[in-house]
Chains A and B, each alone.
Chain A
Amino acid sequence: MLPDSQTIRNAACAAASELTGKTVKDGQKLVSSGLIDSLAVLKLISLLEEKLNIVIPPETLQPEDFDDLALIVETIERAGKAGK
């Protein structure tokens, strides 16, 4: 079973902050603002998989699916699968 939205949001915030070296806030654009690039998105996916113990198949995703915390939650709820 996938974690709840708040848990995903907290994990996303921690992972994005770790990648950027800055605290990421709600609504802050990550990809479209150039704060992280497509390779950093792949790292973000790996970090989220690790933190949430889920699998995110990235083949059907695009970097802008990870553009802010709300979108990350939405993307994981849509595409993520429980257990690794």
Chain B
Amino acid sequence: MAFNSLSYLGFLVAVVILYWILPLGLRRVLVYVASVAFYASWNVIFLWLPLAVAGVVFVCGRFIQANSATARKWLWIGIGILLALLAVFKYSAFLLSNLAGLWVALNSTSFSAASSFVFPVGISFYTFEAIAYLMDVRQGRVKMPDFVDLCLFFFFWPNILSGPIVRARELMPQLRFNRKFEPKYAFEGADRIVWGLVQKNVIANVLGIWVDRGFGAPSAALSTIDSWSLAVAFGLEIYFDFAGYTNLAIGTARLIGVTLPENFRYPYHAVSPADFWNRWHVTLSRWIRDYLFFPINAKWRGAPLPLYVSLIGVMALVGLWHGAGWGFLLWGTMHGVYLSAYRAYETARGEGGSAGKDSGGSWKAVWQIATLVAVVVAWVPFRAPSLAKAGSIFGAMFGRLSWRPEYGALFYVVTLTVALLCAVEPLLTGALAEVDEESGARGLSMFRIVVRPVAYLVGLILFLLFDQNYSQFIYSQF
């Protein structure tokens, strides 16, 4: 049951209405049942997996909390089991196919390494939440709850599929479900859901049709202008796809009065590679920073060599976290190199503040454009079906220059329009928030009674009209 499906809309309406009708004591039961049913709708045979993850956290967390002398050992045991589960379900097929390739190359004999592992949705996300939970217990930031509460934390349906990756201290206190209904929950939730549906079904899916065709086309068919346009179109597709998913997740939670953390802060407005990662998939960046990058560099006190090695290594792992493939690894490594180069420049510059952010008008624009170009280039291996295909597209982008467009004008017009929408998104959001705030101060205003429901209706009609382009969220594959 995908977030952008009609069946999900029906499920959501039923659960939310029941949630606010039921007495406080029964709300948790409802959310429990709804969460388990939602995850089971994806693949019922993997229902045991979030339970197993909760079990590992529960047992290891209890030992960590009970005895500080053995806490470190139990932390590593817990992390080891969680990573092993992730490796089995996410990386075994990739490892086996590469080992098979190596075997064939060395022995010139065939070797079958077909893997029948099915991918359990959400595993990358709830595994990271579980690791964070154990580390937070180790650092004394959270206490271990009972097993039932812990299971609900991992099963909570609004964010189980693809995040946002939440911390226990953010979500656990909200899982008491003891808030009284306020109209703002309905408005805020519906706003996010309708905008999320438009982002996914209207913008991302339409761009996705051209992107799929372009990245699947024979290598020689792409001109320079097509290759750059495709890279830009994919950058826009993945942003609106993932931001759309995130809005649906945050909106769903908001409808029952729960606040999930934001995942995007206008990433294509970033003024440096470091700024990009403060704006793109914020909850993953935060996880990487708090539980991987900071502890590693704290040990070395930010010394240059470990810093650059860890930047590239950690970002390569971020690439692999997205999927078992060389393209993801290359994408992550490219971002690691961008971040290292930027850090080296900052160090050489030797001033306080940040080079991109603190630059004046025209220099800021230069930083912004350079960051955007670097990010767009890195999307190529992320999306290309193979490294050979990525290399061919890079060749067309930087080497064999040819300006003959292969697509119809509509592709370029749509891509440009979406890019412009992306450029003015902060202004639009700011203006809408201002109108909403003003109308809120006047109680039930014209904006709330007429404009908002009409906007919801238009959004839903767009969703239905474009439903024929139905496709999965890109990040649900990670």
Contacts and interface: CB of A to CB of B under 8 A. Distances in A.
A20 B358 CA distance: 10
A37 B278 CA distance: 9
A45 B301 CA distance: 9
**Which DSSP category, helix, strand, loop or mixed, fits chain A's interface?**
helix
Given A60-B139, A62-B290, A64-B290, A38 B297 contact: yes
A82 interface: no
B301 A41 contact: no
B298 A58 contact: yes
Contact of A63 (B289, B352, B354): B289
B352 A43 contact: no
A66 B332 CA distance: 28
A55 B294 CA distance: 17
Nearest to A34: B278
Interface in B352-373: 352-354, 357-358
Given A19-B352, A21-B351, A64-B290, A42 B278 contact: no
Contact of A39 (B139, B307, B357, B358): B307
A18 interface: yes
B295 interface: yes
A34 B278 CA distance: 7
Nearest to A56: B298
Indicate the size class of the contact surface on chain A: 20 to 34
B353 A20 contact: yes
B294 A41 contact: yes
B274 interface: yes
A59 B140 CA distance: 13
Contacts, number: 53
B297 A39 contact: yes
A20 B352 contact: yes
Contact of A61 (B293, B298, B353, B357): B298
Contacts of A58: 294-295, 298
Interface in A31-50: 34, 37-39, 41-43, 45-46
A22 B11 CA distance: 51
B295 A59 contact: yes
B275 interface: yes
Nearest to B141: A62
Contacts of A38: 289, 293-294, 297
Interface in B328-355: 343, 351-354
Nearest to B302: A42
Given A37-B274, A39-B307, A62 B353 contact: no
Contacts of B343: 39
Interface in B258-310: 274-275, 278, 289-290, 293-295, 297-299, 301-302, 307
Contact of A21 (B290, B297, B307, B352): B352
A68 B170 CA distance: 19
B294 A63 contact: yes
Contacts of A19: 352
Given A34-B278, A41-B294, A63-B289, A46 B351 contact: no
Interface string B117-145: 00000000000000000000011100000
23 contacts: A18-B352, A20-B352, A21-B351, A21-B353, A22-B353, A34-B275, A34-B278, A38-B289, A39-B297, A39-B302, A39-B343, A41-B294, A42-B298, A42-B301, A45-B298, A46-B302, A58-B294, A59-B295, A59-B298, A59-B299, A61-B298, A62-B139, A63-B289
Interface of B: 138-140, 274-275, 278, 289-290, 293-295, 297-299, 301-302, 307, 343, 351-354, 357-358
